[in-house]
Structure 1
Amino acid sequence: MNLEVPSVHRSVTPKRRNTPGSRPPALQEHKLEESIRKHCHNLHSKTRPSDLARKRRIAERKAQNLKLLDPLIKAQKKVARRKQVKAQKRALAKRKAKKRTKAQQAEAELQEVQLFQNIIKSDVFDMNRGFPLVPQNNSPRHENRGLRQRHAQPAQLCLQRNNTNLFNSLPEIPPYVWSPRPPFTPPGPPTGEKANGRSRKRTNDNQGSFDLKRQRLSSPPQPSPGAFSLSSPQTSSSLWGASPTLHPFSTDKLSGQILDVFEACGQKSSDLERKELCRTQLQKEIQRLFPLARLFLAGSSLNGFGSSSSDADLCMVLPHVSGEWKEAVRVLGQINKLFRQLSYLRNIQLIKAKVPILKARDTVSGVEFDLNINNTVGIRNTFLLRSYAYAEPRVRPIIMVVKKWAQHYGINDASKGTLSSYTLVLMVLHYLQTLKNPVVPSLQQQFPECFSVTMDIHMVPDGPRHIPAFTSTNTLSLGELLLGFLKYYTCSFRWDQKVISIREAKAIPRTSSSEWKNKFICVEEPFEQKNTARAVYEKSKFDAIKTRFTESWRALQQSKDLNSILPVRLVTMGR
């Protein structure tokens, strides 16, 4: 049987030849397959419901996450907005305060000029005080009540617009007349009802009703040996060299050496006179810029413990200037410009430290000085230490030798982590107060009204004048006191438990206050009650200080010669 297989009819397409302008067949097929695959994928994705559900679930999850994060995002935006508002408010307040400060300064300056004009018209003006000294024609005394009315333009502009020539009519500052101290004459037998020196008050017949207006640098004659004279006598070394008040305390060799160092290194009356003349001249120049400014001589130059090589520390008191750092730098900047116009001042330098100061050198008097603004605490402790210095004749020689001893061993530099001169003075006074028979008492305890923190700063120099005389029963020599000082801080004083205080005349226990906590040495400042020895913050420095005390006490106790702890000849020659 013959079966016929049906033939399959295929459409045969003729082969194209690869002409130069046509594409290759393989590339055409590849493009066709790719387009078909894309088309099928689109159709498949549109028709598959599972893909749509998956996309819907992803969108719902994202929306749910955003819903959960929405409160956090809102809180962050709120905090950022609040910070931005606060920053804008602070900037606005700062701009307003700056404008207000400028207006207040201008108002105070104009009021000072007006007040100054009224004072000059009514009374004789004392340039050293900033207010009238002696009334004229028996008229009632003008009182400076500190009027401070506000205005809106600087005093310089007002003077230019009014065409006034105020400062050309100001009286010249009278030169300071330095009167030498009269020689010491032993006092005669006591007269009057009360002969006891403890209850007899010191009087001065030459003191007038207006004699309290100048910064005190001289005083009545020295009282009897061992008594307290709490005025401000002249710092002349001849007083201590030939005065019989120190003769009973300098009979042995060690005491004589201490006295020799004091006489050679102590500040002379001529040194203090030059510093006072420099202060007077600078005050005259500054009062042309700030009419009510007053310049005080402070520090070791006036407290009685200065040496012949010590600089002059000047403090300018301005009533309308705050104690802020920026304000002090601003005022010192104005004075810096003024000083650079003066031909007799050299080496002018403005130091913007924690307490800004202006350093310069007066070529006329040869005095180098540091000027600060409104450091009233420095003025108060200057006159407190000056009262201690002249309360008893043995105080100044002992402190002078202790300072030279500390400088010789390199433990008298607060900038290098050791003791400052002020701290050393307080340590010596504390020792003299804590003896069985004290050499000096606590003046702040016995006469608080004379050293009150609230006392007007212009009356501080005259506070000690109202203190009566007091007799010390201690008869130790200068050498015995120096040995006792070294022994006290070597064996008796507890550095880790006690605070040195001349205000209470004893070593007070430490408290948990940050001022005393974790400090190696604690010495209380008499007025601010802060730690003056805070510069000693390294244990190595503290150990070096204690070692110097211990070694010096043992060497001096064995030899009884000051050369064993201090080269007397080099010190007296170098000064």
Structure 2
Amino acid sequence: MNNNPATSYKRSYSESQSCTQPNSFKRSKFTVFLAERKASNQLECIINYIKKKETHSSRNKSNTEQLTQDIIEYYENFKQEDTSFILKQEIRNKMERIIIDIFPTASLFIIGSSNSGFSVENSDLDMCLYIPDMKEEDHRTICSNLYQIQSLFRNPNTLRSTLVIPARVPILKLVDVKNDIEVDLNINNIVGVYNTYLMKAYSYVDCRVAPLIIIVKHWAKFHNINDASKQSLNSYSLALMVLHYLQVCHPPVIPALQQRNKELFDIDNYSLQHFSDYKSLKDKLIWKSENEQSLGQLLRSFFHYYAYEFKFDTDAISVRLGAKIHRSQVNRNIPNIKYRHNQSWKYICVEEPFDKTNTAYSTYNINTFNLIKLAIIYTFKQLDLELKIGSIFHKLPV
């Protein structure tokens, strides 16, 4: 009998074309508890899940086998359901029908984790409204148009607008009252359409990608380092950090798709509609990794990499190139000079794969940066003590 956790994982999980859970990881009695999460705080839900998991977890699992099983079950319990995505598509369709009354040439795209495969249940819905012939960086016009759109959504019983946030990327916030789904709408921030397409592609090339990204996002939320408004990391940066590690580990789990499949991601040769056509995308991505490590092994190595190998003061993450590069190289690549010499490149550099800006621009506070580093190092040490999912949710010694 083959007792290698990596081999058993690959056989039971990766062989499935849809990358669904094997029979041994079908939803357990924890699902009954998790079904009530909509009415509770998500962080409390995570904590309660871990407490229950620690109570019932097997003590006979060796090495990373138990951790791998925990991650798979965690992912299956928390990931966005197909029915939820269908509901979000319906919201998108309803909004577009209303908006085209005043912007008849506009198109509405679902962007972010809801569409990339990295979303959890009850997550927000991010959308980009593309209005042709409008300058992308015309901040005043964008805000004005968002206020116009806000006036269309005044019904307190259906879609209700709440406020316009005139940030660097202006946002209109709405709520789908019936389904309690928060909606964030931007105008012409089309890089979100491009990177959602890229993220979706990475979710297709290896079925270990999505579980790792979701578990790392929940880890960051637990440690209060997943909130750009509080100068910590946004979810997109965390996803890019996971993808980067999976590209540079040996052998790589995933390739650099923008180098390997350049024709699919060439924004100069395709219309925007190309980057919302996911039907044939999976068939165009032919990749088989030689890396047979389990989810548990990869998660532990992810934390080791950022704790001891990645040098935040000199290194920058480039998923576009599939490599760790020097900060100065990233600076030379930035097309817009206003991003070259400011605080947005101060502590963590995560290159946006298309416009080459820093997705971790919000992390410019030294105390927050130190907290992020502490969380990474402390989590690795906890995993070194005990390879179980509860180890990544230990409170920091601060």
Partner of residue 275, structure 2: 460
TM-score normalised by structure 1 residue count:
0.55
Q: Which has the larger radius of gyration?
A: 1
How high is the sequence identity, in percent, across the aligned residues?
37
- Check the 8 A contact 2:85/2:114 in 1, yes or no: yes
Q: Distance in 1 between matches of 2:212 and 2:284?
A: 24
Residue-by-residue CA offset, 1:272-309 (whole Å, 9 max, x unaligned): 01100110111111122222211111111111111112
- Cα displacement (A) at 1:414: 1.3
- Cα displacement (A) at 1:322: 2.1
Describe the shift of the 1:353–1:256 C-alpha distance in structure 2 as closer, same or farther (beyond 3 A).
Answer: same
What letter is aligned with 2:375? Answer: R
CA RMSD of aligned residues (A): 2.7
Structure 2 regions of 5+ residues with no counterpart?
Answer: 1-11, 27-62, 332-339
Q: Distance in 2 between matches of 1:406 and 1:315?
A: 26
Counterpart of 1:550 (choices 360, 369, 377) is: 377
- Cα displacement (A) at 1:469: 1.5
- Check the 8 A contact 2:157/2:178 in 1, yes or no: no
Counterpart of 1:275 (choices 88, 92, 104) is: 88
Q: Which moved further from structure 2: 266-275 or 362-371?
A: 362-371
Runs of 4 or more consecutive aligned structure 1 residues displaced over 4 Å after TM superposition: 224-229, 243-246, 515-518
Counterpart of 1:298 (choices 93, 111, 129) is: 111
Q: Distance in 1 between matches of 2:208 and 2:16?
A: 11
- Check the 8 A contact 1:225/1:245 in 2, yes or no: no
Q: Is 1:565 equivalent to 2:378 in the alignment?
A: no
| Corresponding residue SS for 2:151 | helix
Counterpart of 1:351 (choices 131, 142, 165) is: 165
Q: Is 1:406 equivalent to 2:225 in the alignment?
A: no
Q: Is 1:500 equivalent to 2:317 in the alignment?
A: yes
Corresponding residue pairs, total: 334
Describe the shift of the 1:251–1:521 C-alpha distance in structure 2 as closer, same or farther (beyond 3 A).
Answer: closer
Q: Is 1:286 equivalent to 2:99 in the alignment?
A: yes
Partner of residue 430, structure 1: 244
What letter is aligned with 1:494? Answer: K
Counterpart of 1:532 (choices 345, 359, 362) is: 359
| Corresponding residue SS for 2:328 | coil
| Corresponding residue SS for 1:338 | coil
Q: Distance in 2 between matches of 1:531 and 1:317?
A: 23
Q: Distance in 1 between matches of 2:342 and 2:249?
A: 25
Q: Distance in 2 between matches of 1:526 and 1:258?
A: 28
Q: Distance in 2 between matches of 1:537 and 1:529?
A: 18
- Check the 8 A contact 1:358/1:372 in 2, yes or no: yes
Q: Distance in 2 between matches of 1:411 and 1:298?
A: 22
What letter is aligned with 2:292? Answer: T
Q: Distance in 1 between matches of 2:13 and 2:218?
A: 26
- Check the 8 A contact 1:515/1:530 in 2, yes or no: no
| Corresponding residue SS for 2:74 | helix
What letter is aligned with 1:443? Answer: L
Q: Is 1:322 equivalent to 2:135 in the alignment?
A: yes
- Cα displacement (A) at 1:348: 2.8
Q: Distance in 1 between matches of 2:121 and 2:321?
A: 32
What letter is aligned with 2:102? Answer: L
Partner of residue 258, structure 1: 71
Q: Distance in 1 between matches of 2:164 and 2:361?
A: 25
Counterpart of 1:242 (choices 4, 15, 22) is: 22
Q: Which moved further from structure 2: 299-308 or 510-519?
A: 510-519
- Cα displacement (A) at 1:412: 1.0
Q: Is 1:445 equivalent to 2:262 in the alignment?
A: no
Describe the shift of the 1:402–1:386 C-alpha distance in structure 2 as closer, same or farther (beyond 3 A).
Answer: same
Residue-by-residue CA offset, 1:509-539 (whole Å, 9 max, x unaligned): 1218435886211111100111111211122
- Check the 8 A contact 1:275/1:312 in 2, yes or no: yes
- Cα displacement (A) at 1:465: 5.3
Structure 1 regions of 5+ residues with no counterpart?
Answer: 1-223, 234-238, 568-575
- Cα displacement (A) at 1:226: 5.1
- Cα displacement (A) at 1:392: 0.7
- Cα displacement (A) at 1:459: 1.3
- Check the 8 A contact 1:275/1:365 in 2, yes or no: no
| Corresponding residue SS for 2:102 | coil
Name which structure has the greater RCO, CA cutoff 8 Å, separation 6+: 2
What letter is aligned with 2:21? Answer: G
Describe the shift of the 1:516–1:445 C-alpha distance in structure 2 as closer, same or farther (beyond 3 A).
Answer: farther
| Corresponding residue SS for 1:496 | coil
Residue-by-residue CA offset, 1:80-127 (whole Å, 9 max, x unaligned): xxxxxxxxxxxxxxxxxxxxxxxxxxxxxxxxxxxxxxxxxxxxxxxx
Q: Distance in 2 between matches of 1:516 and 1:552?
A: 31
Describe the shift of the 1:546–1:317 C-alpha distance in structure 2 as closer, same or farther (beyond 3 A).
Answer: same
- Cα displacement (A) at 1:328: 0.7
